[in-house]
Amino acid sequence: MRWVLILASAIASFAADPLYLSTQKKFDQIADGKLKPGSVVTLSAAELNGWARAKVPETIPQGLRNPLIELGSGEATGSALVDFLKMRGGETSWLMTKLLEGERPLKVWIRMSSGGGQATVSLTRVDLSNATISGRTLDFLIQNFFKPRYPEAKIGEPFELGYSMDRIEVQPSGVRVFMK
């Protein structure tokens, strides 16, 4: 029985996505404080997508698949197929069930600015099933799906970057993390 566990562990380690491993190593270096002051860590879109493919199922085990990150100048989009009812879990009213059930394409646009160890991430647009969401509906989704999973998240307000990061630049070629 022990050799089966050893074999399964070996297969799993070889099967790990090299893009995920590369990205996780960079994140660990930042978090562990192992980078010299003034260092710049570059994360490609491919690395970020490899990391997302591995990590999203750990964070959201049901209701979200095919995550994709696209980078622009100071902005990024994230898209996936989502089933809000499965993501939320638990009981909902009949009306909420009818509104939320079923898998839909979701795309979220964010703009990021940072400097001096602070950053602000603003949600600029959300498309769900090719319909743009804004106003009260967007507020409802943030309050009922995003905030419960990430209560510490700041949207549209400055927050401390931490880990001795000075700023983060988002460009089409990749994300660059500048250390203080």
The percentage of the chain sitting over the pLDDT mark of 90, rounded to a whole number, equals 59
**Of the candidates 140, 114, 144, 110, the residue with the CA atom closest to the CA atom of residue 126:** 110
Q: How confident is the model at residue 130 (pLDDT cuts 50, 70, 90)?
A: confident
Domain ranges in the chain are 2-179
Mean pLDDT of 150-171: 94
81, containing H or E segment: strand 75-82
> What does the pLDDT average to over 115-119?
97
Query: Is 140 a residue whose pLDDT tops 90?
Result: no
Residues 4-60 pLDDT 10s: 444 444 444 445 789 999 999 999 999 999 899 999 999 999 999 999 999 999 988
Distance CA 9, CA 26 (A): 23
Q: What is the pLDDT of residue 13?
A: 46
Res. 1: pLDDT tops 50: no
For the chain, what is the mean pLDDT? Answer: 88
Q: What is the mean pLDDT of residues 143-168?
A: 90
- Distance from C-alpha of 42 to C-alpha of 23, rounded to nearest angstrom: 9
Q: What pLDDT score does 146 carry?
A: 80
Residues 6+ apart with CB under 8 A from 117: 160, 161, 162, 165, 166, 167, 180
